[in-house]
A and B are shown apart, each in its own frame.
Chain A
Amino acid sequence: MNDRSGSSAMGEETDDLEIEEDSQKDKFLTFRIGEEGYGLDIRHITEIIGIQKITPVPDMPDYVVGVINLRGTVIPIMNVRRRFGLPLKDYDPRTCIIVVNLEETSLGLIVDEVSEVLTITEDCLEPPPRVSRGPNSRFIQGLGKVGNEARMILDTKKILYDGEPARAGSAEQE
């Protein structure tokens, strides 16, 4: 039902933010969820589309909100807020779906806002903080330093497939 509220906010605007970047090393697409900045390896990203009508699928983990039609192909959509156990937020014109492709599987990730593509070289990448920052630390591949800020670089594979128990954590946080 939460998706239903989103679909009304979907509106006519479809941000044609298609990025036609070469797959390149050390490049990361950064985006925001709440106040936090995250990064995804650009090699896994196929395109960025605006939010659109999502058809819910039953019997799914709560973070898989449904499927959409992307030019004739049906792809599942994950709400990253739910995946991280964060409270949901209504979709707005800045809400985007980042379409990733990993090992022949396409998946859309709903994020609050897409920021920019940054180059973060290996020497600016730090391992994830030792001290656990909650259940979401397992998704973090490393910390990328950009000026004074840090972006959490996400591990695409873990975002897609890493275990179920996230829900226990999400229940606590909500």
Chain B
Amino acid sequence: MSENDDNIDIIRDFVQESRDALESLEQAVIELGRNPGDTKSLNVIFRLFHSMKGTAGFLGFKNISSVTHAAESLLDLIRSGEMELRTPDHINLLIQAADFAKEALAELESSMDDKALSVKAEWLSSILHQALAKKPDTQAVEPNEAEPPAVAAGDEPQADQPENKPVQKPRAPDPLLGPEMLERFIQESDELLQKFEQDLLEWMKSPINMDVVSDAFRSIHSFKGNCGFFGFEDLEKLSHNMESLLDIIRTGGSVDQASVAEALLSLKDTLRNAVADISRGGTGLVKDLDDNLRVLRDISQGGKLKSGKTQGGGRLGEMLVAEGLVTKEALSKALDTQTKPLGEILVDMGATSPDAVNKVLSRQIKEKAGEDAKSKQGIIKRQDIRVDLEKLDSLITLIGELVIAENMMVNSPDLTGLPLENFGKAAKQTSKIVRELQELAMLVRMVPVSALFRRMIRLVHDLSAKCGKKADLILSGEETEVDKTIIEILTDPLVHMIRNSIDHGIETPHERRLAGKPEAGSVRLSASHEEGEVWIVVEDDGKGLNKEKILAKAVKLGLIGGDVSELSDTETYNLIFLPGFSTADQVSDVSGRGVGMDVVKQNLDKINCKIEVVSRPGKGLKFTLRIPLTLAIIDGMLIRVGGSRYILPITSIKESFCPKREAITISADGQELVRVREEFMPVLRLHELHKITPDSVDLPEGILIVLDSAAGNLALFVDEILGQQQTVIKGLSKYISDVGKVRGVSGCTILGNGEVCLILDVGGIVETTQDRAGAWAGAGD
């Protein structure tokens, strides 16, 4: 396809859009499988295949369009009730078609063509056609029996396909059309009408340019098609007539160019108003449809356009007649000789009085203004634009730099001691704006988890079939937004966890019946904002973790030694994240090699995500993933120990206080403990951890900061708290992680004076203390 070279962008868009569409398509197909009477899903699937077919056909991707066309035809038969939906045959077929489309899109992306898939496409469309041909009462189709190079259904599979269904049967505005589709229709209509307008204006400038007329013709034609599909009959009728008029012009019919163009423009406004009306939930009816149609007919028959004022509160002449202020004869006479504004002519003719004309004119203006205001409200809001992620990232990096630079400037040592009242004000304002800018920039990167979650629907569907189990996926909190990078990193862990839940967690229907549980297991996937983090919970109602089995296996693998009875539940469950750990007795093709949970842990570590495991034997297993809200900027507390400064994430700080001597005790194993109200918590001296000389080693002379962590509270001993600060996180160099394993530090930032300052990671610090406690315990043995 040679013209494809010019179409690369269009193809990319197509691929991108189709990917999005496929995701909702898959979901809808599975929904339909579960609930065969769901006409809404059926319609959604039909439309998605239909639109993909359309674009693929336009771009010349025969294979995609033939498969999607066949799928669409099948759906149409089902939709019209001529064929009954058979599960799972039809559902499987539709999933296969969706899979094919996915594969084809990947192929398109790499080679810009779908030719490589012609064999598979032929095979798939032939089995789809087979399904089409079968009467509902015949034997079920066995799609998997047909092997790929099956008998080809001719060069053009579409040709022999029962196209007897009138696709364009008149429909009332379909209540089943989803709001998403409607929204797309509105956006698209808006674009089409705008294009139409541009073309017309261009044509007014250069009347001999027939290309623009053709363009306008195409735009209005597409618009008409859309309206027809959505059942907006008035719009369809009107645009159809406009199309006919343009066709006459295009094929050389003689018309008064200026007046025709003006009429078309004003009709376009009518259309646009109607579309705006639809966007506000209106019916899309055109008020003076007949008037408008008559105007068009008049022009088409070579008649002159009477007056430009077709919209608004009706035309002046007609209004005057309706009010009984002028007679019809006088009006038509005036119109025939019109060279001046109509009102003036009528007055000149003595057909009416200036007062009456003015009165009606002012009403006309008022009505028109009302309409204008209404149409302004209805201006369609663009929902989104696609932006290159790289561009976005460099914008965010720049904003990060701006935050640092702003800090540097405001805290510049040159300014200390100067009376800078105005500078202070300006600086404060700047800070505020920079802060807002930064928040906004962060928001830009946030995307809802819904797409990620929806991908899991398919996974659960496939896996439960494969494992011979029944499982439902229940989603909640899909609208929760997280950073795009996090979404990418989360995908694999979620797949592994859900896989584990279904393969190991959820029992077979038989076992479940015996255990008194419903046959179908459930996997809950939810997202929510908690404690300044995003929590993603994966929960199943299967058999839970087997503690004994895990411990036995861990001892066998030599992962832990000695007395295992002292391990807490949490510690035991954390063993499943070790590489190579699996309690599965045999390796299935779904899971059991012991790689999964290790991958989960590795990926989640990358984004500083904490995992909590809660298992209730026989009842189920729950993973909670606690993800930091954003990766790039945090609210930090600047602290000092000796000459070193550190940032602590504010979210992990609970409180801080100067300890009293009597609140401090030392436990038997040498660990310092501090009592805060009723609770004793271990004290960690930051200066020991980082080998710094502090101002004082005496606890009451410094400050203890209570940190919240998964393993409980902890008091960090520092010299001084310097203040709160927006902190732009920078990674420590890759070299650092190559040559050593830094613990207790999640990254670094650049302070106002240009110095690098480490950001402490509370989880890591806790781990370090636990290790040390372990070492002490070991030394004590």
Contacts and interface: CB of A to CB of B under 8 A. Distances in A.
Interface of A: 1, 4, 7, 53, 55-61, 64, 66-69, 72, 74-76, 105-107, 160-161
Contacts of A56: 644, 690
A69 B750 CA distance: 7
B341 interface: no
B439 interface: no
29 contacts: A1-B691, A53-B755, A55-B644, A55-B758, A58-B691, A58-B743, A58-B745, A60-B736, A64-B735, A64-B739, A66-B756, A67-B732, A67-B733, A67-B748, A67-B756, A68-B756, A69-B750, A69-B755, A69-B756, A74-B731, A74-B733, A74-B756, A76-B732, A76-B733, A105-B733, A106-B733, A160-B735, A161-B738, A161-B739
Contact of A76 (B401, B691, B735): B735
A79 B168 CA distance: 78
A110 B745 CA distance: 24
B745 A74 contact: no
Contacts of B692: 1
Given A55-B757, A57-B740, A58-B745, 7 more contacts: A4-B693, A55-B756, A57-B732, A60-B740, A74-B730, A75-B733, A105-B735
A61 B741 CA distance: 10
A64 B738 CA distance: 11
B733 A69 contact: no
Nearest to B690: A58
Contacts of A106: 733
Contacts of A72: 401, 404, 750
B735 A74 contact: no
Contacts of B757: 55
Interface string B720-750: 0000000000111111101111111100101
Contacts of A64: 735-736, 739-740
Contacts of A55: 644, 748, 755-758
A75 B733 CA distance: 6
Interface string B744-779: 110010100011111000000000000000000000
Contacts of A107: 733, 735
Contact of A57 (B404, B693, B734, B736): B736
Given A59-B741, A74-B730, A4 B755 contact: no
B731 A4 contact: no
A60 B733 contact: no
Contacts of A53: 755
Contacts of B404: 72
Interface in B690-722: 690-693
A93 to B, nearest CB: 20
Q: Can you list the 6 inter-chain pairs with the closest CB atoms, starting with the nearest?
A: A55-B756, A60-B740, A76-B733, A59-B742, A76-B735, A69-B756
Contact of A58 (B643, B739, B742): B742
Contacts of A60: 736, 739-740, 742
A76 B736 contact: yes
Nearest to A104: B734
Contacts of A105: 733-735, 738
A1 B644 contact: no
Interface string B667-685: 0000000000000000000
Contacts of B643: 4, 7
Q: Chain A CB within 10 Å — which of B401, B745, B756 has the most? A: B756
B732 A1 contact: no
Interface in B511-532: none
B632 interface: no
Interface in B108-131: none
A1 B642 CA distance: 11
Nearest to A75: B733
B689 interface: yes
A70 to B, nearest CB: 10
B278 to A, nearest CB: 51
A155 B496 CA distance: 43
Nearest to B756: A55
A116 B153 CA distance: 78
Q: Chain A CB within 10 Å — which of B692, B735, B742 has the most? A: B735
Contacts of A57: 732, 736, 740, 742, 745, 758
A74 B740 contact: no
Contacts of B691: 1, 58
A4 B735 CA distance: 23
A76 B689 CA distance: 20
A110 B71 CA distance: 68
Contacts of B693: 1, 4
A76 B738 CA distance: 11
Interface string B136-177: 000000000000000000000000000000000000000000
A69 B744 contact: no
Nearest to A164: B739
A61 B738 CA distance: 11
A160 B735 CA distance: 9
Given A72-B750, A107-B735, A58 B744 contact: yes
Contacts of B735: 64, 76, 105, 107, 160
A57 B404 CA distance: 21
A156 to B, nearest CB: 13
Contacts of B644: 55-56
A106 B734 CA distance: 9
Nearest to B404: A72
B150 to A, nearest CB: 51
B689 to A, nearest CB: 7
A69 B754 contact: yes
Contacts of A66: 756
A61 B737 CA distance: 11
B743 A74 contact: no
Interface in B631-678: 643-644
Contacts of B731: 74
Contacts of B734: 105
Nearest to A64: B739
A7 to B, nearest CB: 8
A1 B756 CA distance: 17
Contacts of A1: 691-693
A88 B384 CA distance: 59
A53 B755 CA distance: 7
A54 to B, nearest CB: 8
A61 B690 CA distance: 14
Contacts of B755: 53, 55, 69
A141 B750 CA distance: 36
B729 to A, nearest CB: 11
Contacts of B732: 57, 67, 74, 76
Contacts of A160: 735
A68 B745 CA distance: 16
A53 B644 CA distance: 11
A113 B294 CA distance: 93
Nearest to B730: A74
A67 B732 CA distance: 8
A75 B748 CA distance: 11
A69 B738 CA distance: 19
A36 to B, nearest CB: 24
A55 B693 CA distance: 14
A51 B404 CA distance: 22
Nearest to A8: B643
Q: Chain B CB within 10 Å — which of A61, A64, A72 has the most? A: A72
Q: Chain A CB within 10 Å — which of B690, B739, B754 has the most? A: B739
Contact of A74 (B689, B738, B742, B750): B750
B741 to A, nearest CB: 6
